[in-house]
Structure 1
Amino acid sequence: MAGPFASASGVRRIIEAAIAAPSVHNTQPWLFHHLKNSVTVYADLRRQLPVADPRGRCLGISCGAALFNMRLAIRMTGHQARVLPLPAPRGAPDLLAVVRAVQGEAPSQEERQLHAMIPRRRTNRFPFDGSPLPVKAVDDLVDAAGREGATLVMLDSRVAREVLGMVAAADRALSRDDAHRRELSRWTGDGTRADGIPRHAFGPRPECAELPLRDFSLGEGGEVARFEGDPQIAALFTRGDGPRDWLAAGQALQRVLLTATAQGVSASLLSQPLDLADQGHGDEPAGTLGYLQMLLRLGYGPPVPAVPRRPLHEVFNTRS
């Protein structure tokens, strides 16, 4: 059977799946290059956030999410993805992975379902209804992270409130940083561009500041709403905290997000404390579960529209 990279249409389907992944501020910091039997994944370093993401952690997580989508798209062809991560970081710092395909079994029903969720997954910054996630849904999300070598922990209400307090403090510190505000402003817009966060995806500001969501309107948003009083927060950990770990964290995060989408669970991300820590260039000590890579807010929210995507010709076979 011909491999998934044997035809232009086959490669196109795989890249289109990859670029539907979430990314920090919707920067879409990835590039792909097709050779005869492989696709190489590069970081688009021009899209790294120098203020919020000086280490490239969020960039790596974003590209990891795209890599997971690639793996799923390859599985739909009856092949398995063979991923060589960071094969030459010294000679090519933007080179993240080389992906090849080998013959495999037919995709499972679960894989087909996750693949079908790729175009339906959204980041939801709107109020959730406060209904608790069923135990099975939580178990499935925890299992999804574990299958990618990461650990997902649902926080109890007390710990969640403490963590949200840390998020709020970090958010206040970031909002006072002029360089951070300028960078955030660069990646927000009116929806006419192919990247960044359009205004329709900002979401309203919490009425009583009970939930420290990132304010993409920079204080100029007009809509205010009441959010859920007891947010359900999950934390994603990896054993290490280097470029390979960030790539793995992105793959785990995307499996979690697609699993959530399949169960009707909405999600948004809270990374302000991590952004603040990354700016310090200091090595955070590992906890019992490893290194925190992302905080997720989970629940049941309203339908939200998609955000824009860069056209294929900007990200595919463009790196010289």
Structure 2
Amino acid sequence: MTTTSSATWAPDTFLAAVEAAVWAPSIHNSQPWRFRRTECGIDVLLDHDRVLPICDPDGRSARVSCGAAAYNLLLALAAAEVPAAYVLGRDDALVHLTPAGHRPATPPERRLFRAIRRRHTNRYPFADQQVAPGVTAQLTDAARQEDGWLDFVVGDQAIFALASLIREADNQLNADPAYVTELQAWTHLAEGALEGVGRQAGGPAPHPAELMARRDFGGAAQRQTRDPAREPVVAVLGVHGSQHADEVRAGMALQHVLLTATDLGLAAALFSQPVEVPAIRERLRLAMHRYDDPQLVLRFGFAPTLGYTNRRAVADVVES
């Protein structure tokens, strides 16, 4: 793939990059992004029709997802040897990319690009298998490279306290009939659905005794009544700042972390419930001794790969 003589990328380069971008994570697999090729670059836009009104009323999670998609876009262009520079919050675009010349992709860029299609949110029980020493430092560095922070929660007492916040938030959310209705609307029985979370990808039904409360995507009841991992690896991700552009930057940090984990052979689970309830988000911030709000709780380890969510066609997310 090559660029034209104009200031932007060729149409085939643009479409190939978008095809990689859409494999970013999004809450309920709502895919709240759109992409626009302009005379001078590429814009990543928020699709306001796909912002969840109950779960994400201010669009924070949607902006995080768009940031993750933008990170995939940057990797795809780098892998095509036509990399991009970017700015946040230009006009109506969350991210605006411009060509940055030609150069070979770096080895880390190639590895992370190859991980895009393998990465997925794992909603199955994690095995009692220890994560190798030094991995947490690599994940922390991945967040730091995007101006983010990733604080690992260490010790039984701290992990149980975090798990308690997740469960409390999950219980509060599920007590709202509108939240349950919205969640069910994005839960699909058909595995071929191009959006939402299917039964296989959604994992088994949450069990009251499991350590970290998961959303219920309609899976079958599980026999397991406790978390098998005796030393779960759990972290909280955030960025410095609370503006919309900072939330987009959090998504870029998130995706860098998740792709690094995938490249290292790790499974990852995402928990946004404690961030969705303002009072509990504040308690989590205080527990992490951070000035800035946390954006997401992540868990890393080893779990079976049993189901992926699907994505809409590129033509459905591109603006003419």
Q: TM-score, with normalisation over the residues of structure 2? A: 0.90
Corresponding position of 1:139: 137
Shift of 1:216: 2.4
| Mapped contact 1:74–1:101 kept (Cα < 8 A) | no
Q: Which residue of 2 aligns with 1:56?
A: 59
- Spell out the pairing of 1:119-158 with structure 2 (5 A cutoff): 119-157=117-155, 158=157
1:81–1:278: structure 2 CA closer, same or farther, 3 Å change rule?
farther
The aligned counterpart of 1:112 is 110
- CA drift of 1:306 comes to 1.9
- Which amino acid letter does the alignment assign opposite residue 83 of structure 1? Y
CA deviation after TM superposition for structure 1 residue 83, in Å: 1.1
- Counting only pairs closer than 5 Å after superposition, residues 61-100 of structure 1 correspond to structure 2 as 61-88=64-91, 92=92, 95-100=93-98
- One-letter amino acid matched to 2:182: E
Letter in 1 for 2:63: G
Q: Helix, strand or coil: the match of 2:23?
A: coil
Q: Given the superposition, is the C-alpha separation of residues 280 and 265 from structure 1 closer, same or farther in structure 2, using an over 3 Å criterion?
A: closer
Match for residue 234 of structure 1? Answer: 235
Residue 254 (structure 2) pairs with residue 253 (structure 1): yes
Give the share of equivalent positions with the same residue, in percent. Answer: 32
Question: Equivalent residue for 2:28?
Answer: 25
2:83 match: secondary structure: strand
Deviates more, 1:160-169 or 1:228-237: 228-237
Unaligned runs of 5+ in 2: none
2:18 pairs with 11, 15, 19, which one? 15
Aligned length: 310
1:44 and 2:47 aligned: yes
Letter in 2 for 1:182: T
4+ aligned runs moved over 6 Å, structure 1:
278-281
Would the aligned equivalents of 1:204 and 1:224 in 2 still touch at CA under 8 Å? Answer: no
**Matched residue of 2:100: which SS?**
strand
Query: Is residue 217 of structure 2 the alignment partner of residue 217 of structure 1?
Result: yes
User: Counterpart in 1 of 2:316?
Assistant: 314
- Residues of 1 paired with 2:122 and 2:194: CA distance? 19
Q: Secondary structure at the match of 1:296?
A: strand
| Amino acid of the structure 2 residue aligned with 1:235 | V
Aligned-pair CA distance for 1:213: 3.0
Following superposition, the deviation at residue 169 of structure 1 comes to 0.7
Q: Does the 8 Å contact 1:238/1:289 carry over to 2?
A: no
**Measured at CA, do residues 115 and 289 of structure 1 come closer, stay the same or move farther in structure 2, by a change above 3 Å?**
farther
1:34 positional shift: 1.1
TM-score (norm 1): 0.90
Conserved 8 A contact 1:122-1:304: no
Distance of 2:181 and 2:254 partners within structure 1: 28
Using a 3 Å threshold, how does the CA distance of structure 1 residues 204 and 224 change in structure 2: closer, same or farther? farther
